[in-house]
Amino acid sequence: MLIDIEAVRIGLQAIWANKLRSSLTIIGVFFGVLSVITIITLMQAMMDGIEEQLSALGPSTFMVNKFGIITSREDYMDALKRKDLTVEDMGAVEEGCLDCEYVAARCYRFGSVKRKSEKLRNVPILGSTANFIDVIDFQVEHGRFFTEMEYQHKRQVAFVGPTIVEELFPGVIDPLGKTIKISGKKYKITGIAKKRGSMMGNNQDNFLVIPLTTQIKYFGKPRHNLALAIKAKNVETVTNTQDQVRSILRARRGVDYYDDDDFSILTAESIMAFVESITLMTRVVIGGIASISMVVGGIVIMNIMMVSVSERTREIGIRKSIGAMRKNIITQFLYEALILTLLGGLLGTSAGIGLAAILGEMMSIDVSVTFLSVAIGMSISLLVGLFFGIYPAVKAAQLDPIEALRYE
């Protein structure tokens, strides 16, 4: 253990004696680790944010829509030829599905929302059934969602997101019961959703929900974007529930036995798998670029350590002549390389997490420090120091002490 402490002391002295060379080495590692940690932290935060949003579906909930996951124009054109889902389809599923706890429907459009002189444009307006809140996790901050009676009687009521309140009711303590105009029609606010913030620049609080029956009354039957939200009785029956829904819809829509479904069933897991697949290539490419920078930094370290060995040949000869063993020389130079890379790794990890937080703020992504990020940053710097420091250390240990003492 004493020899390790002595090696660290000698390494620190050598680093301090060659400040410019040591600084260049640390900078090389710093930028390599900075790029790796920024990417890892940002991508992990992004995936965590998407997973959190998808958790609103819950493990026993799935969606049925016309398009599914579209990956190309060809897929979109093929899906466009499918029949639209209808409110009648929802009724048939609700009646025929034995394992369905809730069967809800929703569609959306964009419109203007106004109160007095304040006006918002292109606000997402969701039309849904009254039980939609039982299927999708819309958390209520104040008031309530609209009722089944209000749904059946096509009442002009609205459940709104916090942004609607902030923009249209500045300074108003309680907007519940107040009216707003949606595309020129008056609606009474029944409830306000809990604030969810932004995700990747998308404001998740700028929306409102009205009864689907009311939306159909004033805007006509939905086309293309009506979707069913279905909750199974429990997690164990989800697969059977999906099979029942699939059978009911295929029969209603006249799909032949050997033909594919003309609708799509989506779960949180399938959406997450798709998101991970489309981000995989990005992570591979960016990770490859970051790895190249680490290799370049490692080569710089190796070259600088070789220069250090050359400059300290006489010192190595003296140490060997007074009894230093080969392993002592290797340890000394390895520790020197490790100290440099660990310093660069520590600075690069800290800066990488900070940069990821800044970029996350710009992209409206919640970035937090994780043990994984710190462990990866320090592990990378440690491995770079070991891998690229071993050759110069061995080269130094192999020097003949007599020839080394003669070196000028």
The 10s digit of each residue's pLDDT in 350-389 is: 888 888 888 777 765 667 667 776 777 778 777 877 787 7
Strand partners, 191: 143, 159
- Give the mean pLDDT of 291-305: 74
**For residue 319, what are the CA distances in angstroms to 5, 96, 284, 324?**
16, 88, 46, 5
**For residue 303, what are the CA distances in angstroms to 28, 145, 299, 300, 309?**
12, 68, 6, 5, 10
Is the model's pLDDT at 119 over the cut of 50? yes
Lowest mean pLDDT among 3-12, 30-39, 199-208, 229-238: 3-12
Task: Write down the pLDDT at residue 55.
Answer: 58
| 159 against 1, higher pLDDT | 159
- Give the mean pLDDT of 296-318: 73
- Give the mean pLDDT of 22-41: 78
- The share of the chain scoring above pLDDT 70, in percent, equals 80
Cα(57)–Cα(118) distance, rounded to whole angstroms? 34
Cα(404)–Cα(406) distance, rounded to whole angstroms? 5
The 10s digit of each residue's pLDDT in 318-339 is: 776 776 677 777 777 777 778 8
Is the model's pLDDT at 2 over the cut of 60? no
Is the model's pLDDT at 3 over the cut of 60? no
> Would the pTM of this model clear 0.75, i.e. be above it?
no
DSSP result, 318-363: HHHHTT--HHHHHHHHHHHHHHHHHHHHHHHHHHHHHHHHHHHHHT
Closest CA to 68 of 57, 79, 52, 77: 79
Strand partners, 107: 127
Rg over alpha carbons for the chain, rounded to the nearest Å, is 32
Is the model's pLDDT at 408 over the cut of 60? no
* H/E element, 157: strand 157-160
Task: Write down the pLDDT at residue 383.
Answer: 81
Domain borders along the chain are 2-53+273-406, 61-266
Sign of CA dihedral 344, 345, 346, 350: positive
Task: Write down the pLDDT at residue 187.
Answer: 95
**For residue 300, what are the CA distances in angstroms to 215, 293, 307?**
66, 11, 11
List the structure tokens of 309: 């060995």
List the structure tokens of 204: 């998740």
pLDDT band at 145 (very low <50, low <70, confident <90, very high): very high
pLDDT band at 1 (very low <50, low <70, confident <90, very high): very low
- Pairing assessment for the beta strands 198-199 and 179-182 based on DSSP bridges: unpaired
- Are the beta carbons of 360 and 43 closer than 8 angstroms? no
Task: Write down the pLDDT at residue 332.
Answer: 74
List the structure tokens of 293: 């920078």
**For residue 96, what are the CA distances in angstroms to 87, 212, 259?**
14, 22, 22
Q: 23: Cβ–Cβ under 8 A, 6 or more apart, which residues?
A: none
- Pairing assessment for the beta strands 157-160 and 140-143 based on DSSP bridges: unpaired
DSSP 244: H
pLDDT band at 95 (very low <50, low <70, confident <90, very high): very high
* Helical ranges in 363-400 per DSSP H: 371-397
Is the model's pLDDT at 156 over the cut of 60? yes
The 10s digit of each residue's pLDDT in 51-86 is: 665 556 667 888 898 887 767 778 778 878 888 889
